[in-house]
């Protein structure tokens, strides 16, 4: 599904939009109204303005955020039904990303099941950033994952259009690219653990590279190669499963060829050609290992690969948007299972960096696959590294499902991520990384332990990762445990932080 932009003469436009493609089709015209009952894009809706105002008056419509009023007032005949959907936007000067997403969701929830195409009359009411946020919200509201429903029907919608008198085309093209990436992220994350395991994710990456051969190259590091590299922290997680762990490296060459695929350290290269690195935790199912999780809610642990899913989706979006930038991405893929081969609490392993780790809790496994992956990705000598991981339950307690936590050792990178967050409407919150927290990781018999106790759990997890970042390397860690998926009966992946990543990369490509 893609969003299209329609721009023609205002008075004629409404008539053209309401012409039917075939008698069986039904169209929906969406009209936005603020809390002062002003019609957004009123010039575009001139033909139907009187009828719309009558409906607003008789229904006592207030124009509050996501309030809806549906009618078939514009129907010309019983064989040509046209749904009119009036949607409130609240204060016109307070169109936040959250409100725009609520508006997009309200449009879909209030749409007739007979509708297969919608047009939103928008005019020139939004800034480019607001339009991108609205487009993203509208597209994501249409997402459905129903491949396993035996009586699933084809998607109702075939076409989404926005009627605007301002040129949003470039912004819309980018929004469509972001949505394509979010859709891939959500699709792989929503798959059950018996379908989505490390090899499956590696296959998805290779198929993506085959689709965009001029932009993308993929290499898969298997467990034998990891042993040779000394990635024992990663292997301490992967070895408990019958499914072999995989480290998938994706090189997006949007600007120039920045290195070879031999896995060796990057040769001397121009500073401007150095890639930005994205790293994703990909624990395709997390039982907790020997430190077994409680049974209640364990089904949600199929989403514990949300970081790698978002990185894979970002690469898909990059290929669609064709941003002129170099990016290297790593998917750290493993299944955390209890078995006779699984790591025991109290085991000590040596990381690829040479540091030793006392593993006190095998359910703190994400940081173990990430630490070796972070060491590996620094071979590329990247400008910056940003990792994304569903890392800690402590982060969910701290920030809920509204904001992702961000930890960083570099002020410029932190500012760039915060700026991108505001533009994309993909909210983050800066968390501390003070040295005083590091002492919680001290071990009497190894260089460190993999947990730091109950206090500041998300902070000590970030502190653990920071120990594997070389001095001078700009790095940020996103804990997306509360934002990568929605729990409950309607559980599903959100596709975050693909919008944040893409906005950050778009800004960086212009720097």
What CATH number is attached to the domain comprising 95?
3.40.220.10
Question: pLDDT band at 330, cuts 50/70/90?
Answer: very high
CA distance 260 to 291: 40
DSSP 305: G
Residue-number span of the structural domain to which 142 is assigned: 3-149+156-164
508 CB-contact burial (10 Å; exposed 0-12 / middle 13-18 / buried 19+): middle
Residue 170 in domain: no
pLDDT of residue 15: 36
Residue 409 in domain: yes
Residue 104 in domain: yes
pLDDT of residue 259: 64
Q: Report H helices in 110-222.
A: 128-141, 169-190, 198-211
Q: Are 312 and 188 in contact (CB under 8 A)?
A: yes
- The tokens for 359 are 């593993």
Q: Would you say residue 18 has pLDDT above 60? A: no
- What are the two backbone dihedrals, phi and then psi, of residue 317, each rounded to the nearest 5 degrees? -65, -40
pLDDT of residue 10: 35
| 117 and 206, same domain (yes or no) | no
pLDDT of residue 467: 98
Residue corresponding to tokens 């025991």: 344
- Choose among 321, 169, 329: nearest CA to 254: 321
Against a cut of 0.85, is the pTM above it? yes
CA distance 195 to 366: 20
Residue corresponding to tokens 């290779």: 206
Q: What is the pLDDT of residues 370-425, one digit of tens each?
A: 999 999 999 999 999 999 999 999 999 999 999 999 999 999 999 999 999 999 99
Q: Would you say residue 316 has pLDDT above 90? A: yes
User: 50-54, 198-202, 461-465: which range is least confident on average?
Assistant: 50-54
Q: Would you say residue 12 has pLDDT above 70? A: no
Q: What is the pLDDT of residues 125-144, one digit of tens each?
A: 889 999 999 999 989 988 98
User: 180-184, 259-263, 359-363: which range is least confident on average?
Assistant: 259-263
Residue 169 in domain: no
Q: Are 176 and 320 in contact (CB under 8 A)?
A: yes
Q: Would you say residue 4 has pLDDT above 50? A: yes
Q: Which of 136, 164, 192 lies at the terminal end of a domain, its last residue?
A: 164
CA distance 291 to 217: 37
| 322 and 460, same domain (yes or no) | yes
pLDDT of residue 83: 83
Residue 489 in domain: yes
Residue 172 in domain: no
- The tokens for 183 are 């859709």
pLDDT of residue 269: 67
- Active-site residue set: 293, 367
Distances (CA, A) of 393 to 336, 462, 481: 17, 13, 7
Region 205-218: mean pLDDT is 97
Instruction: Please work out, in degrees rounded to the nearest 5, the angle formed at the alpha carbon of residue 196 by the alpha carbons of 190 and 200.
Output: 135
Q: What is the pLDDT of residues 70-95, one digit of tens each?
A: 987 666 555 556 788 999 999 998 89
For residue 39, the SS3 value is strand
- Choose among 171, 188, 314, 207: nearest CA to 252: 314
Q: Would you say residue 158 has pLDDT above 90? A: no
Q: Number of structural domains, the chain?
A: 2
């Amino acid at each position: 599904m893609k969003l299209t932009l329609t721009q023609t003469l205002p008075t004629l436009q409404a008539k053209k939009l309401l012409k039917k493609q075939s008698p069986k089709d039904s169209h929906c015209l969406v009209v936005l109204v603020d809390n002062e009952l002003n019609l957004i894009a009123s010039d575009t809706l001139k033909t139907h303005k009187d009828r719309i105002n009558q409906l607003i008056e008789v229904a006592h419509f207030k124009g509050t955020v996501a309030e809806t009023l549906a009618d078939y007032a514009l129907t010309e005949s019983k064989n040509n039904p046209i749904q009119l959907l009036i949607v409130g936007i609240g204060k016109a000067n307070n169109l936040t990303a959250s409100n725009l997403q609520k508006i997009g969701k309200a449009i879909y929830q209030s749409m007739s099941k007979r509708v297969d195409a919608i047009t939103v009359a928008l005019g020139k009411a939004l800034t480019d950033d607001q339009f991108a946020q609205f487009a993203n919200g509208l597209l994501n509201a249409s997402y459905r994952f129903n491949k396993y429903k035996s009586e699933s029907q084809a998607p109702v919608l075939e076409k989404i259009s926005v009627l605007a008198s301002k040129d949003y085309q470039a912004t819309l093209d980018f929004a469509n690219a972001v949505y394509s990436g979010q859709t891939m992220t959500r699709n792989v994350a929503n798959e059950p653990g018996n379908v989505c395991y490390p090899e499956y994710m590696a296959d998805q990456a290779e198929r993506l590279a085959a689709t965009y051969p001029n932009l993308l190259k993929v290499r898969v590091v298997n467990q034998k190669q990891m042993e040779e590299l000394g990635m024992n922290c990663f292997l301490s997680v992967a070895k408990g499963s019958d499914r072999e762990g995989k480290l998938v490296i994706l090189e997006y060459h949007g600007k120039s060829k920045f290195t070879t695929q031999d896995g060796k350290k990057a040769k001397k290269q121009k500073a401007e050609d150095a890639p930005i690195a994205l790293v994703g935790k990909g624990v395709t199912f997390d039982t907790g290992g020997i430190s077994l999780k409680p049974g209640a809610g364990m089904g949600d642990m199929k989403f514990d690969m949300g970081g790698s899913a978002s990185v894979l989706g970002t690469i898909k979006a990059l290929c669609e948007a064709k941003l002129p930038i170099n990016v290297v991405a790593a998917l750290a893929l493993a299944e955390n299972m209890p078995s006779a081969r699984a790591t025991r609490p109290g085991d000590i392993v040596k990381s690829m960096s040479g540091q030793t780790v006392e593993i006190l809790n095998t359910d703190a496994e994400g940081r173990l696959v990430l630490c070796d992956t972070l060491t590996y990705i620094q071979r590329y000598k990247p400008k910056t590294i940003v990792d994304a991981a569903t890392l800690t339950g402590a982060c969910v307690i701290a920030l809920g499902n509204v904001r992702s936590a961000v930890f960083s050792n570099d002020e410029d990178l932190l500012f760039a991520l915060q700026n991108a967050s505001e533009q994309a409407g993909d909210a983050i919150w800066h968390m501390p990384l003070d040295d005083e927290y590091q002492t919680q990781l001290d071990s009497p018999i190894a260089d460190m332990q993999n947990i730091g106790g109950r206090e500041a759990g998300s902070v000590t997890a970030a502190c653990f990762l920071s120990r594997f970042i070389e001095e001078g390397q700009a790095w940020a860690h996103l804990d997306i445990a509360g934002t990568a998926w929605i729990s409950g009966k309607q559980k599903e992946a959100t596709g975050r932080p693909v919008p944040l990543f893409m906005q950050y990369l778009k800004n960086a490509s212009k720097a």
